Structures are given as C-alpha cells and as structure tokens.
Structure 1
C-alpha cells in the first residue's frame, strides 16, 4: 500500500477506536480509558505500518515487535489502573470543569486519535528503512528499546507498589527511581522513541522519525503530561509535593537536593 494510504488507514482506525472509547467512558464515567486506547492504537499502528511498509524486512519485523510490545505493555498496565481505581484526578478535574459535557469529551477523544496519527509518523519512516543500512541500526534500536522500556516498567511497578499500601495514602512516592526524578516513567517513555530514529536511518522519511521524541517531550513537558499530573498532585498533597518539587529533578534523573540546603537558599 502507498505509505500515505497506510497513514490514512491508521487515522481512520484510530478515530473508530476512540469513538468506541468515548462511548465506554460515557457509560462508566471514567475517561482514563483514553490512555489505554491511545497506547494500544499507537502500538497497533507500528504493527500495521510494518506490515504495509516497503522497506527492509528485518527493519519492519523489528518495528512490529518493538512498537507492538511497547504498546501492549503500556496499554495493559494502564488498563489495570483504569479497571481497579477511580477515575484519574486529571480527568475528574476535566469532568467537573466541563460539567460532564459529552460533546467536549468526544472532541477530546478525537484529538487523541489525531495524536495517534502524529506518533505513527516515526513508524512510517522506519517501515521504509533500506536493506543496506538495516542491521547495525536494528541492534542499536533494540538496545535503546530494552533499556527504556525496562526503566519505564520498573518505575511503574515501584509506583504501583507504593500506591497499593494504604499507609501511603496522601503521600508522595520517593522510592527507587522516584527518588531521582519526579517523573521517571515519563523520562523512559520519552527515551524509548529514539529506538525508531535508529530504525529509520537511511529511510527517505528519516526526518519524520524525530517527531517521536520531539513531540513527546513537548506534550510531556508543557501540555498534557507533567503540568496536569503536578497540578493534581499539588491539589491533593499540597506542601508535601512542593517540597518534592524543590528537591527532586522534574524529568531527567539526577541526585536529589538536600531539603535542608534548599530551605536555606
């Protein structure tokens, strides 16, 4: 299939899935399903574009495996949270702010479908990787993928274990990777997108592969990731979270500052 036609198919399927997701959240009053579906759709787009691509077969197989497994892991992790916990505070805030207006929620879900298409662009580039440059970059892509997905999985597991303990209700997780970054899961999620830059080396669309880390950083840093998450944390944990902000790096892991030193500055 023509690469542009394949991207059009991704957009159409994502819109259909997000419409079903909007209907589900309307019935269950839980918009957290949008994160599950976004992850599944982006991972599914990697598999679809790999199958329909015209690049080197080894690179396309790597794309399908890496992108598909990443999406499946993240979607399953998020689904466990959606089905076992109340609606995420970010979406409760939107529900209150919008007074439950379903038209606005529908537009929100459609915006996520557009984001699926945007994040599918690195996959489209990788699916056109030429034969003569495939193998060395596949090895690099796999190494980046293993390190970043393992890091994200560890951060997710540490946070889930912390939240599962009733004694930690209302407290901020500072265990493991969360001691060195306020959002280690976001950091490794961002890092993961560099795997597809490696896979796209030599592709006529290689420049599109940079959409992954660039757009992901913009959204995490300024739009839908960190700002919403930290605003909700400040609403629920107040000064305790402000102290965490003062002493712990926001995204890129580094050693935390001393609370005593920070207080004297």
Structure 2
C-alpha cells in the first residue's frame, strides 16, 4: 500500500477514535481517556503497518508482537487508573485554565490523534524493511523486554506506594523511584530504540529515529515531566522539592545526600 495512503488512513481513524474519546470525557468530565486511546492508537498502528507493509516477514512480525503488546499493556494500565480514580490533576488544571471549554478539549484530543501518526512513523520504517537480520531483531527484543519490564515494575511500585494512606502528600522513593524521579518515563523512552534496531536496512530507516527523539522532547520539555512535576509540587510541596534536589530527573543514578 502507498505510504501516504497509509498515513492518511491512520490519521482519519485516529481522529474518529479521539472524537469518540472527547465525547466520553465530556459526559464523565475525565480527560484521562485520551492517554488510553493514544496508547491503543499507537499500539494498533504497529500491528496495522506490520500487516500492510511490504518488507520482510521477520521484522514485520516482530513489530506486530512488540508494538501491539506494548500498546496493550500501557492502555490497560492507564484504563485501570482512569476508571478507578478521579480525573488526573494535570487535566483538572487544564479544565480550570480553559474554563471548561469543550472546543479546546476537542482540539487537544485531535492533537493527540496527530501524535499517534507521528509516533507511528518508526513502524512504517520497519514495515518497509526488506532485510532480515537476526542479531538486530534479537537486540530489538532485548531492548523491548528490559524497557517493558522496567516500566511495569516502576508502575507497580508507584501504585503500591499510592495505595497506602500513610504516604499521602509524600514523594515515592521506593525501588526504581529512588534512582529516578520518572523511571516509568525513562523505560518508555528506551522502548523506542527497539524499532530503530528493527528498521536497520529499511529505505526509510531514518524515520525510526522519530520515536526516541520525539519521545524525549515530549517527556523532557512538553507534556511529560513538566506537567507531572508541576502537579507533584502542588500536591506534595516541600517533600517533592527535596526529592528534586536529591534524585535524578530521568536517567537513573545514585541519589545525592539529603540536605541536613
């Protein structure tokens, strides 16, 4: 199938899906559904590109398994939070800032549809790869396993910490959170290098770098760490400020000594 037709079709489907998501949040006043749909859309696009691509079978099959499994895990994890908790503080603040404007929320949901297309570009590169390289496929699988395992452990450690009422108003420093303020984001970023490995040999292999590069920019400066830390400072105050001083922002490292 023509590359641009695939992109246009994906954008159309993502836009329709996000429109239904916008209606869902309008009825329930919970914009967290946008994260669930984004994960579903990106994971689903990996499977779609793998099925419709004209590259070698091995990298396409690996793409379908890795990308689809990643999207399913992330979507189910986020859905558990969305359906069982109040609206995330980040979206509550947006709702207050926008004074409940549903048109702004609609534009926000459609922007997320465009991001699905952007993050699907690495999958398009893999789907056109005519080369079957067992070492690079093995490297991709290894990166995927480490990153998904790390993100799963970080998510569970945070969920366990938040479930204890005694920890209310405190920053999580358990397990991986002792070495990074955002270990879940770190492993999410690492995950995208798996598709760089799978795309080696593709005529559009350079597109695979859109994954790790764009993900780092969004996590570091746009929608990840800035929003999360702003909310954490509102809810945890001085304890989170001390956590910021002692703990690496993204890449895990040994914590600094706490201030006396």
Q: Does 1:110 align with 2:110?
A: yes
Match of 1:39 in 2: 39
Match of 1:254 in 2: 253
Partner SS for 1:202: coil
Match of 2:177 in 1: 178
Q: Which runs of 5+ in 2 are unaligned?
A: none
Contact between 1:43 and 1:67, CA under 8 Å: does it hold in 2? yes
**CA displacement at 1:134 relative to structure 2:** 3.0
Match of 1:54 in 2: 54
Contact between 1:18 and 1:113, CA under 8 Å: does it hold in 2? yes
How many residues align structurally? 260
Q: Which runs of 5+ in 1 are unaligned?
A: none
Contact between 1:59 and 1:135, CA under 8 Å: does it hold in 2? no
Cα deviation, 1:157-183, whole Å, max 9, x if unaligned, reads 000111111111111100000000000
Match of 2:220 in 1: 221
Show the 5 A alignment for 1:65-214: 65-131=65-131, 133-214=132-213
Contact between 1:170 and 1:237, CA under 8 Å: does it hold in 2? yes
**CA displacement at 1:154 relative to structure 2:** 0.4
C-alpha distance in 1, partners of 2:223/2:231? Answer: 12
**CA displacement at 1:9 relative to structure 2:** 1.3
**CA displacement at 1:136 relative to structure 2:** 2.0
**CA displacement at 1:2 relative to structure 2:** 1.3
